[in-house]
Amino acid sequence: MIETGLAGKVVIVTGAAAGIGKATARRFAQEGCKVASWDVTEAEPEAGGIFQKVDVSSATSVGVGLEKATHALGPVYALINNAGILRDAQLVKFKDGALTGAMDDDQFDAVLAVNLRGVFVATRAAAASMIQAGAGGVILNASSVVGLYGNFGQTNYVASKAGVIGMTRVWARELGKYRIRVNAVAPGIIDTDMMKSVPEKIRVGMNAHTPLGRMGQPEDIANAYLWLASDAASFVSGAVLSVDGGIVMGT
């Protein structure tokens, strides 16, 4: 068994009320971490941890949440930027030469606010806290295979997840001197509530391109986060780890 070196460490997991976030909070708690679970939806905390209602797109909400988390649990060692939303639509949609639909500004802005700005806001606050504590740390960001390859009907989501990869690489360069490692995980098709909003024909098509022949489970991503946060990955920074069953994205 790999020794993670994480027992007793304080970990913040955003989007922790359900799906990948909940599985991640549970996995780190199982490893002996003190977990602060953040979400805009109420949820029960993991054993030995706390739940906080935090909106990652709000600097004020994040600041208050971080202050309370460190007061209750101690200095933060790892931040898992997992929170994310979908608002899918085609850029423009035509039928018989007439415009019948388009992605509107609200759909675009809502996804960028949570998936991209939220990662920026939470990381800015957590990184400052880690530097002040002087013990190093880990920041892990949720990207997606679509951030690497694109996907039909997801201009906003793809933009946010590609942006997360870019920020991850910048921060790995900027924060390395403080012994803070920054990496991203790019999940493929994961069996979560979020997937229920994806049209069935798209889900079937995406599954057909997964060589392992199944959807991933939230625990698959939680285990990837755990490894990247652990001492076993102590020389890994600026990386994007695809956890996708070998999927090849298509249209």
- Per-residue pLDDT, averaged over 109-120, amounts to 98
How high is the mean pLDDT of the chain?
A: 95
Asked whether residue 28 carries a pLDDT value surpassing 70, the answer given is: yes
| Structure confidence at residue 1 (pLDDT) | 57
CA-based end-to-end distance of the chain: 40
Count CB-CB contacts under 10 A for residue 211.
9
pLDDT at 110 over 90: yes
CA angle 57/58/61 to nearest 5° reads: 125
Find the mean pLDDT for residues 133-154. Answer: 96
Question: What does the pLDDT look like over 154-206, one tens digit per residue?
Answer: 999 999 999 999 999 999 999 999 999 999 999 998 989 877 777 888 778 77
Average pLDDT over residues 52-79: 98
Q: 10-243 — its CATH code?
A: 3.40.50.720
Residue 157 designated active-site:
yes
Rounded CA separation 247/23 (Å) = 22
What gap in Å lies between CA 52 and CA 217, rounded to an integer?
Answer: 25
pLDDT, residue 216, reads 93
- CA-based nearest residue to 25, from 15, 10, 35, 40: 35
How confident is the model over 121-149, as a mean pLDDT?
97
Kindly state the average pLDDT of the residues 92-119: 97
User: What confidence score (pLDDT) does residue 94 get?
Assistant: 97
Q: How far is CA 187 from CA 20, 31, 43, 44, 192, in A?
A: 10, 22, 23, 25, 12
| pLDDT score, position 41 | 96
> Could you tell me the residue ranges of all domains in the chain?
10-243
> What distance in Å separates the CA atoms of residue 88 and residue 180, rounded to the nearest whole number?
34
Do residues 34 and 10 lie in contact, with contact meaning Cβ atoms separated by under 8 Å? yes
Closest CA to 6 of 39, 38, 28, 36: 28
Strand partners, 38: 14, 52
Which carries the bigger pLDDT value, residue 249 or residue 216? 216
Of 77, 149, 157, 225, the active-site residue reads 157
Give the integer Cα–Cα distance in Å for 106 and 74. 38
pLDDT level of residue 250 (50, 70, 90 thresholds): low
In whole angstroms, give the CA distance from residue 76 to residue 70. 6
